[in-house]
Structure 1
Amino acid sequence: MASAATTKNMKEIATCSICFNLMTHPMSIKCGHTFCQSCIEGFCKKLSQRQEGLNIFNCPLCRVRFTKNNLWYNRDLGKIVEVIKKMEKMDHEMLCEEHGEKLHLFCEEEDQLICWRCERSAQHKGHATALVEDVSQGYKEKLQSAVTKLHQLQDECMSYKLFMTMKINEWEKLIEIQRQKIKSDFKNLQTFLHEEEKCCLWKLEKEEEQMLRRTRDCKANLEQKSNELESHILKLEAKCEGSVQNLLQDVKHTLSKSLAVKVETPENIALESHTTCNVSELYFDVKETLRRYQVSVTLDPSTAHSDLFLSEDRRQVTSGYSQENLEASSKRFTAFPCVLGSEGFTSGRHFFEVDVGEGTGWDLGVCRENVQRGTDMKQKPEFGFWTIRLWKENKYVALTSPLTPLHLSEQPLVVGVFIDYEAGLVSFYNMSAGCHIFTFPKASFSDTLLPLFQVYQHSSLFLPLPDV
């Protein structure tokens, strides 16, 4: 502890000769004299007001000439002022609150500083006590060891944070490359591919958002942990740099908290984009290309729901009233007004057209041969259905999980269904406009796929003959 005389001498050095208070932001001039920044600037301002345009001034103490450009912040003296303020604060604070005596003893059992009168009280009777000078060094070494460990943890945390920043930058670059590739590939295609481009970019954006959310959450957690470690370190360093009394105050509890700090290794996130678009497989003349794979599809009466009426040539289905005395069939749909095509697909590429006219409600697409056909039927890809739907007020959706709204600029009168069995793709096209409607996410087919049609009230579907 500094003596009273030493403290007094330090205060005299750090006292401003203009305001006679401890200096605030001390500024020195070339003669070596130092004043508060506000005091010396106020001094210069007053002289300038008295003598308009004056920019050369005399030191208030030795009259040496100086300009405002000669002023510089005295960092060392500023630190001395801070030390004096801390010492004055400690002189007021580090006394026993109960007895007003100096806290020169440390009670090991209570983990607190006490005075000689506290030691003799009933509260501390029989407790092991020691002079603060005798135990402070040992605890200081332990605290410094804890600081070293926390610095190591902070370095580890910063390393993880830098790693996650690199991951984020790497991911954003990868996404940007992928985005530019998709845009470049689509640039030379005609208008009918515009919706396909937007769909791919939408998927990529969603994938980017999901990955960035994961990596940013991980980085935010590391940032929070780093801030906690920084705060902890500052508290311990302040404790080590302060008086021995301050150092020993709750030192065991502080050490216990410091030793309990951990940094969890962040998740190793693989940066891999799953959104791809092979534009080279797309052609400019959609209709001509699709019809290379066109097949003739007819309806299978043994699968038709009792509310459906099939034409004699099995190319048209209409919704009506329930029919009785139908031939029993295990293939028949019993809960929903559906019917399957007779022709199945087990490999290759296939395309068929459906004349939907101006019907108000229908589903069409393909399904696996072994799908559920009763009340437990769930029309989603995971249950073997790849279909789109027209429902109320000309609203179109793809029956994905969850549903995908389809924003069509023109109502299709003829819908084309394209199946690439090996590629696992089911796509739909507006054959009236010659443009793409929707492609389901890539699937893995192993069973027979059959055309599926569901017709709602006041609607009918017609299967035209393939063009010769």
Structure 2
Amino acid sequence: MRERRRPTGARPAWVPSPQGSGRAFPSQPPAESRPRPRPRRAAPRTTTPTATPTTTPTQRSGMEAEDLQEDLTCSICLDYFEDPVSIECGHNFCRSCLHRSWGPGGGSFPCPECRQPSPFSSLRPNWALARLTERTRRQRQGPVPPGQCGRHWEALRLFCEDDQRPVCLVCRESQEHQGHTMAPIDEASCSYREKLLKAQCSLKDKMKKAMHFQDIEMKNVTEWKEKMTNQRARLSAEFAKLHLFLEEEERLFLQRLSEEEEETKKQQNENTLKLHQKITSLKQLILEVREKGESSTLELLQNPKDVLTRSENQDVDYSPEVLTVKNVCQIPMMKEMLKRFQVAVSVAEDTAHPKLIFSQDGRFVKNGASASSWPLFSSAWSYVSGWRNSQRNAPFMGRFQHLPCVLGKNVFTSGKHYWEVESRDSLEIAVGVCREDVMGLADASEMCPHGGIWAISWGSAGYRPLTGSPGSPTKQEPALHRVGVFLDLGARDISFYSAVDGAHLHTFSCPVSRLRPFFWLSPLASLVIPAVTGGK
């Protein structure tokens, strides 16, 4: 097709064919999906007579269809007429295109084709042209032949870089593609074919690299699975050995305990037999003395000194032996297992009794009150077992006022926790856990589970659990200078161990779910909370 040139200072326009005529009918609504016609051809540039070539009927039919399409095309939008109107000079345009070309206002405006002035009031709907345009559009709604524009039925000769699709020459001149970058379709095809070939090569290289990484990953996964299998087997083997070791240790401990039990029972039986024999001998001698005393004078005086001598020589001195269990509950590797739950503990100075002094890091505590300055502390054991302060009902300001105690900063609400406390001298101290509301206690006998304290006290005389019973026996434990406290809030109990050899000392049932470390010191006693060397 041949393109028309735009007039200077005006929008693109082509000279249409003579206006149509016929019966008036309403204009048709716009349809974006309708096929668009080709623009009309320009008039010949020369009037030189030329020989008219012979044309076939098919060629003539195609030329007529092309001429008809040009006659039904608006010279402004290069598309089928939409609501066509005629102006005074006889040219036809889309109503909307003419409004955009002339702009707002009234008066006269130049025709976009011939530049002849036409008043705005001269616009007349061209119903015949609208009907013909609609009928032609419906006939063109069939399948678009390959390589042709679906809107203008022109050959696709260009490629729009902005819209990334082939377009025809008419599309290039339309408002839709104004300012877009165009390239010949063959040139664009070659360019993008080269780019796609390069992209394909690049993707193949990336796929090779990804497959290489996949092989490495699969190899790593295989090696990792093998390592996990080996590690699982080693752990199972080590724990199997450990189970056998613990079972053997349990058997040996139970055997020693049974031997100790048998030995103790044997000693008990021997003592019982001796006492029984002694009682039998005394009964016999009592009977003999009674018979001697009830006999006649002559029989009484027959060697009476013998009976008296034997009576005087009867010795019933007997010291009952305190029965103790020699084999303590010392489980192998208990210390190592407890260390896994070790936590850092320090004292809260704002809860302490005024007589207590501390190190800067809060891990060293000393009771500065001497026995002479505080006579009621002259006996630590008597203090623990029932000393009563005369100021029992005195107010307290969030700290211990009557008992030389202090709480730890830690607040435990769940889990397992372990810490150790060391006595630096032979004076008595007590450690354990307590509720947070015990600072008002004024009676040392309330340092027991009933008073909200679960602790043990120890010193040079041994150790004993603070159960609240006045007759609670003192248990001997050689070289007990460091005690481990193990709090298991899941099991709701607290256990005490010798931190030297892991021997179990005592276990309290502790139903409270919010606890803090507790410390009590006798006069001039001091304690140290060792730094954490492992655990959590």
Bigger share in helix: 1
Q: What is the TM-score normalised by the length of structure 2?
A: 0.33
Greater gyration radius: 2
Q: What is the TM-score normalised by the length of structure 1?
A: 0.38
